[in-house]
Chains A and B, each alone.
Chain A
Amino acid sequence: EVQLVESGGGLVKPGGSLRLSCAASGFTFSSYSMNWVRQAPGKGLEWVSSISSSSSYIYYADSVKGRFTISRDNAKNSLYLQMNRLRAEDTAVYYCAKDRPGMALWGQGTLVTVSS
């Protein structure tokens, strides 16, 4: 089955860290750029970061630059997002999404809550 499954979300204190994972299956993961997109509770969609198929090109939203790091392991069909120095405004559901053009496949999302 073609799918993306995120994990690693949870409750973390401001200033803390979390590492999100996204497991891909059913398609040739190494052929596609991947994205992280987040959605704060009751709000719209916000692009967070993108990584090219071979990790040669990496991009971040200004709101996370210097705090978040995107990476991938094509051998493990996995995408990651290391999130450091978390803030309350980072509270959101985080989705991984396959690029194609347009984000053609989305995971179910993982909730990150930043609160003391």
Chain B
Amino acid sequence: DIVMTQSPDSLAVSLGERATINCKSSQTLLYNANNRNYLAWYQQKPGQSPKLLIHWASARESGVPDRFSGSGSGTDFTLTISSLQAEDVAVYYCQHYYNTPLTFGGGTKVEIK
């Protein structure tokens, strides 16, 4: 099974500042046949269902603000919020879909400093 490890567990960032969340997989998520990384990022606000932000490691979902960006390849990935807004307070999860079992990272809680 592919293990997804997120860091940090939580972070507090001032409004307008950058937030960076890391995600590491125990095996490569890069499928050489199509040169795609099978990695997604989700946002879960308190009391709500998760929302897909990014797939293929860096493809932003329609309607997701461009302050959210995903990067990385292979086993190391990053979600960056370039300028934190109050509405970005949430738990963020990475997830691989390279094979089954699908697995999620443990989550990173983002708060306002």
Q: A: which residues have CB within 8 A of B?
A: 35, 37, 44-47, 50, 59, 61-62, 95, 97, 100-109
Contacts and interface: CB of A to CB of B under 8 A. Distances in A.
Contact of A103 (B38, B42, B100): B42
Interface string B25-60: 000000000000010101010000111101110000
B104 interface: yes
The 6 A-B residue pairs whose C-beta atoms are closest, nearest first, are A102-B55, A102-B40, A47-B102, A106-B49, A59-B100, A45-B104
Contact of A50 (B38, B52, B102, B103): B102
Given A44-B93, A103-B40, A50 B100 contact: yes
Contacts of B107: 44-45
A3 to B, nearest CB: 11
A101 B56 contact: yes
Contact of B104 (A47, A50, A95, A109): A47
Nearest to B101: A61
A107 B49 CA distance: 7
B38 A101 contact: yes
A20 to B, nearest CB: 15
Interface residues of B, number: 23
Given A45-B44, A59-B100, A102-B40, 4 more contacts: A47-B101, A97-B50, A101-B40, A102-B52
Nearest to A106: B49
Interface string B91-111: 001010100111111110000
B66 interface: no
Contact of A109 (B49, B51, B95, B105): B49
A2 to B, nearest CB: 12
B70 to A, nearest CB: 11
Contacts of B100: 50, 59
B61 interface: yes
Contacts of B49: 95, 106-109
